[in-house]
Amino acid sequence: MAGSSHGHTPAAWTGVTIAFIGFCVSGAYMVMAQPLGFWAGMVIVVLGGVVGLVMRSMGLGMPKDAHAVYETATVRAQATATPEPAGAKS
């Protein structure tokens, strides 16, 4: 799926970045044995998902039908580029 632009939107990048920061915070506080900080980091992870969904609903994500278009194009490209097996003759 190298040709599809799945996830390459401002909504996806922002949501994943916030969630990654939350995982880092949770990991740091887990090592420091601070449960409150760990759970604060997990709240940040969930916040990343919420921010991504809100941004997608604002139109900053990929349109719902765009993924189907990319999948169809990929399947067609693979079907035309697939060579016949060795020894197969028509």
Identify whether 40 is part of a domain: yes
Identify whether 43 is part of a domain: yes
Identify whether 47 is part of a domain: yes
Question: How many structural domains are present in the chain?
Answer: 1
Identify whether 90 is part of a domain: no
Identify whether 33 is part of a domain: yes
Identify whether 85 is part of a domain: no
Q: Where are the alpha helices (DSSP H) in the chain?
A: 10-31, 35-55, 66-81
Residue 77 pLDDT > 90, yes or no? no
Q: What average pLDDT score do residues 16-45 get?
A: 96
End-to-end alpha carbon distance in the chain: 31
pLDDT of residue 1: 46
For residue 35, what are its two tokens?
Answer: 């449960």
Domain extent for 23: 7-60
Residue 80 pLDDT > 80, yes or no? no
pTM: 0.64
pLDDT of residue 36: 96
pLDDT of residue 81: 64
Identify whether 39 is part of a domain: yes
